[in-house]
Amino acid sequence: MTIRRANVEGIRVDAGTRREFLDRILELAGEDRTSRVLFANVHMVARALDDPGLRETLEEADLVCPDGMPLVRLLNWSGARTQRCEGMAAFPLLLGLAESAGLPVAFYGSTEAVHGAMLDRIRREHPALRIAHAQAPPFGPSLSVAFEQDLRTLSGSGARLVFVALGCPRQEMWMRAAHGIPGCLLGVGNAFEVHAGFRRRAPLWARALCLEWTFRLAAEPRRLGSRYLGTNLRFLRALPPWILRRR
C-alpha cells in the first residue's frame, strides 16, 4: 500500500498504513522546507465543509492522516483502504523515532503546566531526544501577537519536527500561515495534555467502535457539548443516504 489522496465528502483525507504515514513524516522532516501534517477527524471535516479556509488548508497540506475511526470506516467503505493514524498515538511514536534518528523536536502550544509534566515524562522515556524548543503562547482567538518572533525562534532552534497543539482550527490556520521553518509542522491537538497525564484517552474498545467522542463528551460536557452537537450533525447531514443505511 502507498499513500494516496482520498476524500470524505469532498474534504481531502489521505489513505495509507500507519507505518507509511510515519515514514512520510520522517521524510518531510529531512527536507529543507516548511511542510505541514494534519490529523483529520470528524470535527475537522465538518468544519471544513463550511469553512473555505480550512478546506484549502487541508488541500495544501503535505499529508492529511485519518485521525478518527469514522473517517477510516468511510474511506475503507469507499475503497480507499487505510489505517488510522491519530495524532495522540503518533505523537509518542514520533518522539521515539526522532530520538533514534537524531532529529531535534520542538513543542508549541498548550500551557506551561502541561509542558512541565510532559517534558518531565519525555526526558525520562527519551533521554537522548534533542529538545530544541518548547513554548506555550498566550491563549486567544487569533494568532499570537508575537507570531513573527515565534517563527524566527522556531526556525533558529533547528527543530525538524515541530508539534503544534493549539486546537482545531486555530492550529491548522497557524500552520498554514507559518513559513520559513525548515522542518515538519504537525497539528496534534490534545496530544500534549494526554501525554502529560492531564487528560485520559478513551479505552481501546470505545475507539474501535467509533465512540471516542462519547468518552470525551462525558469528561467535558460543558466545553464539548455544543461542538459535538453542531459538527457531528453537520457531518451526518453531508453523508450520502446509502452510507447511513449500510450495516
Structural domains for the chain: 10-196 (3.40.50), 204-242 (no CATH)
| 93-142 pLDDT tens trace | 999 999 999 999 999 999 999 999 999 999 999 999 999 999 999 876 55
* Contact between 94 and 65 (Cβ < 8 Å): no
How far, rounded to the nearest angstrom, does the alpha carbon of residue 6 sit from its chain's CA centroid? 17
What digits encode the pLDDT tens for the residues 175-197? Answer: 999 999 999 999 999 999 999 99
Q: Where are the alpha helices (DSSP H) in 78-196?
A: 87-101, 112-125, 147-157, 170-177, 191-196
pLDDT higher than 60, residue 237: yes
C-alpha to C-alpha distance for 28 and 34, rounded to whole angstroms: 9
**Quick check: 47 pLDDT over 60?**
yes
Confidence of residue 146 (pLDDT cuts 50, 70, 90): confident
